[in-house]
A and B are shown apart, each in its own frame.
Chain A
Amino acid sequence: MADITESRIAAQSTAHPAKRIKWEAVGDHAILIAGALLMLVPVYMIFASSSWNDITLHREGLQFGFSDDMANNYNAALFEYGGFTDSVNGVTMLANSLILGIGFAIGKIIVGMMAAYAIVYFRLRFATLAFWMIFTTLLLPLEVRILPSYEVITWMNLGNTYTGLIVPLIASATATFFFRQFFMSVPEELIEAARIDGAGPVKFFIDILVPLSQTMIAAMFIIMFVFGWNQYLWPTLITTDESLFTLVRGIRQIMQAYSDGSTTPEYGEAAALAIIAMTPPVLVVVFFQSWFVKGLTESDK
């Protein structure tokens, strides 16, 4: 701590008279740039590769430059029907992924808000116990309880349905936890003012609490959407019907052709599909970014 402050003071006092190079800043930026490259280069390579034909990719691996098969590959990725049954194309998978991501995010927000509302605002017996029990589910993601969940879903005949795909994923406490923390920071006086204004529990929730939670809801939506979108294991397990495949799942399906040894795997198409799969989460984050930061940091109530 002490030497950080000292070096800062030193940097300040030397910086003004002659504009010397601040080696610290150079070092910091070098690290940041290296980190950024580490993250971005693979993405760039996939993007560049998505413009090559399958043969080149198969023979020479991922490419750095661009070729002229881009339109082809994206067209194939989006519109060419594939799979064993020829019943699924990129657009279907995109739709499935959106349904999973949005359905999961919305379901989670609704359940989380309502659970948090009950825990924070109603004097229930064992409310604290209930909260901590919900909280421990944070330690039990779907992957841990995947076998029993699978049993239950098949027993309920929900295999190969959107419900079976989405509902089991919703059962975890992240959103409940965040909304609880948020609700507890809403001033008591506001609740009392609403009571005097004649707002019952439902009115208070809808008229006051939900609008107040706007930014929090947006932040939750981003996190949950990306989480749902990126699900791989559960969709693989629960959907055998190809018309329900998600994008993340579909990429693997294309690559799988290789291990089957039948034809040259459609590497170009796979790369294109990977780029397509990355785009919606990036867009959601970019567009909701300002809300996201506000929701997690702002406390203007």
Chain B
Amino acid sequence: MAKVKLDGVRKVYPNGVEAVEPCHVDIPDGELVVLVGPSGCGKSTLLRMVAGLEEITDGTLHIGDTVMNDVEPANRNIAMVFQNYALYPHMTVAKNMGYGLKNRGLPKTEIAQKVAEAAKMLNLEDYLNRRPSQLSGGQRQRVAMGRAIVRSPELFLFDEPLSNLDAKLRNQMRIEIRALQQRLGVTAMYVTHDQVEAMTLADRIIVLNAGRIEQIGTPAEIYSQPASTFVASFMGAPPMNIFTGTSDGQQATLDGGLSLNGAGAPSQTGKIQIGIRPEDVALDPSGPLPFEVDIVEELGAHRLLHGQLSGQPFSVSLNKDEPASTGPTKIALKPGAVHFFDAEAGRRL
């Protein structure tokens, strides 16, 4: 088990693409960090640099107390789980799990024992002599996890390990991964583009956008104090409503003329962006803000109202037992509902 430290780590591909801008990350021992961001933002590149599968252009990488920049992947004491499982198709489950240990020169009996232990942990005992092609997707993913576990690594790396599974299995495996990681206490980096997966799994989340780290924080921090409009709209479903508006230092006003009384205002004056989460709003016939509902969307546990606030698109999420209908209504904001961002870069104010 080890802490991980990225110091100005950067990646420029030979074709000149800067996939990861210099970034600083500190991961304490035993923490599960989720790298999340849209497709192509550099998550995999960052993870693969830690794995040693991709060369680090600049900066230093520590795993434990060792600089790992030029260490072969096999000697970094890591284990990686890939999106497409990457199991060896011609080897049995047991051989797949034991291959790394065999290459390390461990005696056969010890390998067999470790494989048996991992198989027990993952409910794979009945499948040890099967080939990967004779397993279901979920079982293959378990084998891939087993291959990672038997090596007793200091660091787990996951690159979208659940994206090939159906929704139900994904939820189940997510819980299993979390439980396993906590039981073993191994530091882990987990890449996903799914913000729900990120929120539920992570001790801390790193939000990446176009090769840049937008924010690092606990799920609660990311959700309640998004560092930018990008984070605000990427994390959370449905996404945060972002309005354009102005501030005079005392009070914020949405373009369209509606003033947000009592919501406070940033000290910066002039043009700003204003964010309100759909779930931080309550329908209130005596509320201060007129809301024109155009569409009601039923989601079972929730109900989404889409409409106009001060002439700008606005969505509200309500509990299923609150009545809702189209047409004009009034809303009130819950305390702390309003977030302010600057107009150009979208940084939090």
Contacts and interface: CB of A to CB of B under 8 A. Distances in A.
A and B pair up: yes
Nearest to B84: A189
Interface in A180-204: 187, 189-190, 192-199, 203
A212 B90 contact: yes
A196 B78 contact: yes
B39 to A, nearest CB: 17
Interface string A202-215: 01000110011010
A143 interface: no
B220 interface: no
Interface in B73-125: 73-75, 78-80, 82-84, 86-90, 99-100, 103-104
A187 B86 contact: yes
Nearest to A203: B103
A197 B90 contact: no
Nearest to B105: A198
Nearest to A186: B89
B6 to A, nearest CB: 19
A196 B88 contact: no
Interface of B: 51, 53, 72-75, 78-80, 82-84, 86-90, 99-100, 103-104, 133, 147
B90 A192 contact: no
27 contacts: A189-B84, A189-B86, A190-B86, A190-B88, A192-B51, A192-B53, A192-B86, A193-B80, A195-B72, A195-B73, A195-B74, A196-B51, A196-B53, A196-B80, A196-B100, A197-B99, A197-B103, A197-B147, A198-B74, A199-B74, A199-B99, A207-B99, A208-B88, A211-B90, A212-B90, A300-B89, A301-B89
A196 B83 contact: no
A300 B103 CA distance: 25
A124 B6 CA distance: 31
Nearest to A190: B86
Contact of B133 (A193, A198, A199, A300): A300
Contact of B73 (A189, A196, A208): A196
A61 to B, nearest CB: 54
A183 to B, nearest CB: 15
Q: Which of B51, B78, B103 has the most CB of A within 10 A?
A: B103
B252 to A, nearest CB: 49
A215 to B, nearest CB: 11
Contacts of A195: 53, 72-74
Nearest to B48: A192
Nearest to A199: B103
Given A190-B88, A207-B99, A212-B90, A197 B82 contact: no
A127 to B, nearest CB: 15
Contacts of B83: 189
Contact of A196 (B74, B87, B89, B133): B74
B131 to A, nearest CB: 10
Contacts of A211: 90
A212 B74 CA distance: 22
Interface string A267-301: 00000000000000000000000000000000011
Given A192-B73, A196-B100, A197-B74, 13 more contacts: A189-B83, A193-B80, A193-B87, A194-B99, A195-B74, A196-B53, A196-B73, A196-B80, A197-B100, A197-B103, A198-B74, A199-B99, A203-B103
Given A195-B74, A207-B99, A187 B80 contact: no
A198 B53 CA distance: 12
Enumerate the 6 nearest inter-chain pairs by beta-carbon distance, A residue then B residue, closest first: A198-B74, A197-B100, A189-B86, A198-B103, A193-B86, A211-B90
Contacts of A207: 99
B74 A193 contact: no
Interface in A63-86: none
Nearest to B159: A189
A300 B53 CA distance: 25
Q: Which of A187, A189, A193, A198 has the most CB of B within 10 A?
A: A193
B86 A198 contact: no
A192 to B, nearest CB: 5
Contacts of A301: 89
Interface in A136-192: 187, 189-190, 192
Nearest to A210: B90
B82 A193 contact: yes
A197 B90 CA distance: 16
A21 B87 CA distance: 52
A198 B105 CA distance: 10
